[in-house]
Amino acid sequence: MAAIPARLPSHAASRPTPPTPPAPPPPIHSPRPLGAVDPELARSFLERFLSETKAPVDPAGRWRAIAEQIRDTGTYTHTSAELTWGARVAWRNSARCIGRLYWNSLAVRDRRHVSRPDEVAAQCAGHLRETWRGGRIRPTLTVFAPDTPTGPRVRIWNEQLIRYAGYRRADGTPVGDGRNLGITELAHELGWRGEGTEFDPLPLIIEGRDGRLRPYALPPDAIREIALTHPEHPGFADLGLRWHAVPAISNMRLEIGGVSYSAAPFNGWYMGTEIGARNLVDADRYDALPAIAELFALDTSSERTLWRDRALIELNRAVLHSFDTAGATITDHHTESTRFLRHVEREAEAGRACPADWSWIVPPVSGALTPVYHRYYDDHDEHTLTPAYVLDEAATRRAAGEVGT
C-alpha cells in the first residue's frame, strides 16, 4: 500500500514513501479559522482507517483530495466508508460503555445533507422507528450535517431523543422526571404543553444555523414504551410505572478525523439496571422504591432491614420481565458483564487497548457479583481517543434547559 504524503505543513515522513510521491498541496496558513479541521487529525484518521480496514483506496490520492479540501474550505467530507468506520470506532473508544462487544455492527444512517430543524426532527423519528424492528432493537446512529469553520449546522438540545418531562406542583414537589425540570420549562417557553402526567415524552428541541430553538413533538408511533409488570405480584402494574424502550443519546458530538458532527444521535439497547437502579430510583427523579416497598409489605422502619435493596431487586426483576414479555431487547448486568470481558479479550487479540472507566463499567446492582468488578482496566483518558463521542459541558447545560450555552 502506498504511503500517504507527509502532513501539512510538509516534513519528512516517518516511513518510506513511493519513489515519486505526489506533491502535497500548499500548507494551510496559520492561524486557521475557528473550527477549521486540523490536517494532523485528518491525516492520522486516514492512516488508521486504511490500516485497519484495508480499504481498496489509493492513499496518496485520497490524502491529496482531503488536504486540498481543507486548504480551500477549512474542512473536508468523509466518504461513506470513512464515516461508518469512524462512528463505529467512536463507540469502541467509549470508556464508559459496557455494551461495546457489538461495536462493528452499528448501523449508520447518513443524513449529512439534512440540517433544517424540521427535517432533523423527522429523521430523528425515523431513526426511532427503524431501530425498533419489532422489538429486536439494533444499535443505530443517524449523523446530520457536520459543523463548519463558522460553527455547528444543527444541534439537538435533548439529552436523549426520548425523555420524560418534569413539572413542579404548587407545593414544589415534582411530577414526572425531576432530572428534566429545566428543559421542560424551556419547552414551555417555546410553546409546547404537556399533559402534566408522570410520563409525558418531551419534544425535541432543535437549534438551527440561525440560533433559533424550535420544539418538535415526536409522533406517537416513534415512541415505544413498556408498561412495567412483575412476574409474581399482579399489583405491581397498579404502580403505573413505565419506560421507553430505546435509549438514544442525542447531545454528544461525534468527532472523526477532526470533523465534528454536533447532531449525531445514537442508540444501543438498555441494560435493565439503567432503568431499574437509576432512572426510576434516583431520589431526584422518580424515587420509586418507597412505593415498591409498601407494595411488597417490606419493613421500612430501619435501613438495617435492607428494604431498599429488596425493593430494588424486585423493580429490576419487573423491568426485565416486562421487556421480555413485550419482546423488546434488553440485557441484564450479569450477561453484559461477561460480554464486556469478551470484548476486552477481542481487543487484546487485535493488539488494541480497551479503555474502560471502572466506575461506569461496574453495574449499580450487585457489582461485586459480576466479573467486571474484580479487575483493572487500561488507564486511558477517553478524551484523548479519536474518533470519539464527546459530551461538552455546554451540551450538558443545554440538556438542562440552560439558555445561552
214 tagged catalytic: no
Distance CA 150, CA 35 (A): 7
Enter the C-alpha cell of residue 178: 425531576
Question: Are 166 and 142 spatial neighbours (Cβ–Cβ below 8 Å)?
Answer: no
242 beta partners? 227
- 234 prior amide bond cis, ω within 30: no
The 8-class DSSP code of residue 34 comes to: T
Catalytic residue among 92, 100, 109, 224: 100
- Contacts (Cβ under 8 Å, ≥6 apart) of 110: 80, 83, 143
Catalytic residue among 157, 269, 307, 317: 269
- Contacts (Cβ under 8 Å, ≥6 apart) of 92: 100, 103, 104, 347
Catalytic residue among 82, 274, 314, 336: 274
Q: Which of 111, 90, 122, 337 is nearest to 222 (CA)?
A: 122
108 beta partners? 141
274 tagged catalytic: yes
Q: What is the CA radius of gyration of the chain?
A: 23
97 tagged catalytic: yes
Catalytic residue among 43, 64, 92, 97: 97
Q: Which of 263, 276, 222 is nearest to 246 (CA)?
A: 222
Distance CA 223, CA 350 (A): 38
124 labelled ligand-binding: no
**Alpha carbon of residue 123 to chain centroid:** 16
307 tagged catalytic: no
The annotated binding site is made up of 97
Catalytic positions: 97, 100, 269, 274
The annotated binding site for heme is made up of 97
